[in-house]
Structure 1
Amino acid sequence: MTAMREDVLAAARAQVLESGEGLGEQQVLDVLRLPDSELDALLELAHEVRMRWCGPEVEVEGIISLKTGGCPEDCHFCSQSGLFESPVRSAWLDIPMLVEAAKQTAKTGATEFCIVAAVRGPNERLMAQVAAGIRAIKDEVDINVACSLGMLTGEQAVRLAEMGVHRYNHNLETARSYFPHVVTTHTWEERWDTLGYVREAGMEVCCGGIVGMGETLEQRAEFAAQLALLDPHEVPLNFLNPRPGTPFGHLELMPGADALRTVAAYRLAMPRTVLRFAGGRELTLGDLGARRGLLGGINAVIVGNYLTTLGRPAETDIDLLGELKMPLKALNETL
């Protein structure tokens, strides 16, 4: 059995580290099945892969909710759905507050500021608000602007690109086979179509999801393979933070070792992708886990708070990166 485990890592080393070819679905599953005794070796390999194919720089991003709550979709993990009895209420952010949030994000050293709205897709009011917000931000802040506004039409994607949106986030959330257990008000395929429009419009594609929502290891591996096929510029990796009032509110936190194995496995599946620590890492991994993740394949982080949950103080992450001697990616390197 030990020899078989060593074979999994040896094969991954030859294929990914030396040749730059990502692992396939079955290979990712083999990695996800490695025991805790092999976790340190796995994380070390994933870090070597990240350093070779991505370099030492870490991309830092902040996010802000332009429209919070009241979403008509039933994503079972999300407290912003208007269909669940959760404490999040609908609210809009005004333009001055948006600009101030962008300024504070830029002060941390972040190069990316993402405007998020809890909607199925943007209507004309939201598109106008985003356009005004982007103009105001670009007048005062030197930072890339990304958006996450739900599902788009091809025409909306073009308009956002013309507004100066650098990157568009739209997560597939989970494996195609598990998606109907997570969302019933729209399909996985509708999300996939939006990502096609984003790429065609010339924006960078940001697409990831949430692990620890009750999916099997096989589905976790399936999801990695589907993301690798999409070939996004960035993959934000979230860990379920069960929210009261949602259908997934009763689920337990994902074990930290499983979360770290997932980080490493996804790095080995996508050796050149920006793999970003996102929501849930604070509870699932804690401070030590954050350090191990950054030394196990992660090369980007969201700093500060998330949409409806608290994150780590931005200074804590920036200090940790300095301690690990991981330089922040400069703005001109992300353009």
Structure 2
Amino acid sequence: MTAAPQTTGPELGDVLAVAREQVLGRGEGLTEAQVLAVLRLPDERLSEALQLAHEVRMRWCGPEVEVEGIISLKTGGCPEDCHFCSQSGRFPTPVRSAWLDIPGLVKAARQTAETGATEFCIVAAVRGPDARLLAQVRQGVEAIRADGNDIQIACSLGMLTRDQVDELVGMGVHRYNHNLETARSHFPEVVTTHSWEERWETLRMVGEAGMEVCCGGIIGMGETVEQRAEFAVQLARLSPHEVPMNFLIPQPGTPYENYEIVEGKDALRTVAAFRLAMPATMLRFAGGRELTLGDLGAEQGMLGGINAIIVGNYLTNLGRPASADLDMLAELKMPVKALSDSL
């Protein structure tokens, strides 16, 4: 998707000059029209946008970077038809249904903690958790703690009921991930087996219960640049603690298998725009960054508003080695957030 050149208007002025006063100076996120203007910035102004986004991140979030690892407890066989997902049982993908045993979960949590990560997210490919899955999560959390591991535990288990939210809180799960995936106006083109509003309701209950809300999406699923701006502002209204930024990895067998990869400059422009929409939110590099940006682009993103990363692999996709990301942070002189700072 090529950014259009329109970046000004009667209510915008020069959008980066406005953002410097509004976002950097007062901590007020950009409006949808302003986000759209950033997304339409020409390539020659991209470095300026990234620099401003980095300044905003440093002022309103600080220099630390949160490192997280994720693991799939239940892989494949999901009944939903999310068109980007190789774990949907509705598409002829290579992924088959499988469960990870408790010792494997404990080992993964231990290895994640050894990287210096403070967050470990347990993920399951389901519409929502049943009694068996919740029992497995409970056993897993208890086993991780019995192993002497005090890493913070997050979960991503699909849509929840109120009782399930309360049960997760009781287990000590402190953060819940449930991505809205894309703008509300584009969601019916991406998923048909449930609604954007159903996802929003789960997030509302999670926030009300006191868990941290982790909610982001995937860039590059056929959305327009206007819908990217819409999505950024919808996320901002949710006031999430964390927003994972994924870039589409076209998966064999899915409806999106032939979609083009997001261009690096458009990905970085989107990172900057999302930071300027959410100045105090944790913005996390997630799936697809290696494919879209490569090593140099990842560094540019870290200097353009990102302040959290997932290390290692992403469920059914390979990521960079954790050591490579930690070395990058050291070279950029970005301190890794300590566990004691996270509690």
* TM-score where L is the length of structure 1: 0.98
CA distance in 2, matches of 1:77, 1:162: 33
The answer to whether residue 132 in structure 2 is matched with residue 125 in structure 1 is yes
Given that residues 6 and 41 in structure 2 are in contact (C-alpha distance below 8 angstroms), is that contact kept between their aligned partners in structure 1? Answer: no
Residues 6, 40 of structure 2: 8 Å contact kept: no
What does residue 134 of structure 1 align with? Answer: 141
Please, which of 166, 169, 173 is the counterpart of residue 174 of structure 2?
166
- CA shift in 2, pair 1:3/1:195, >3 Å: closer
User: 1:96-245, aligned counterparts within 5 Å?
Assistant: 96-140=103-147, 141-245=149-253
Q: Distance in 2 between matches of 1:2 and 1:132?
A: 54
Task: Give runs of aligned pairs for residues 3-42 of structure 1, distance below 5 A.
Answer: 4=8, 7-42=14-49
Q: Distance in 1 between matches of 2:341 and 2:176?
A: 18
**Which amino acid is the alignment partner of residue 129 of structure 2?**
P
* TM-superposition CA deviations, 1:185-227 (whole Å, max 9, x none): 0000000000011112211000000011110000000000000
Report which stretch shifted further, 259-268 or 196-205: 196-205
Q: Which amino acid aligns with 2:203?
A: L
Structure 2 gap ranges (5+): none
Q: How far apart, CA to CA, are the structure 2 residues paired with 1:207 and 1:3?
A: 28
Question: Structure 2 length as normaliser, TM-score?
Answer: 0.96
Deviations 1:27-63 (A, max 9, x none): 0000000010000000000000000000000000000
1:324 aligns with one of 303, 325, 332: 332
- Secondary structure in structure 2 of the residue aligned to 1:227: helix
Deviations 1:242-273 (CA, angstroms, capped at 9, x unpaired) = 00100011100000000000000000000000
The RMSD of aligned alpha carbons is 1.2
Give 1:3 deviation, angstroms. Answer: 9.4
**Alpha-carbon distance in structure 1 between the residues aligned to 2:7 and 2:201:** 43
Matched letter for residue 104 of structure 2: M
Divergent runs of 4+, >3 A: 1-6
Q: Secondary structure at the match of 1:236?
A: strand
Partner Cα distance (1:169, 1:129) in 2: 18
Unaligned runs of 5+ in 1: none
Letter in 1 for 2:86: S
* Paired AA for residue 79 in structure 1: S
* Deviation sequence 1:140-159 (CA, Å, 0-9, x none): 21200000000000110010
1:251 equivalent in structure 2:
259
CA offsets per residue over residues 96-129 of structure 1, 9 Å max, x none? Answer: 0000000000011000000000000000000000
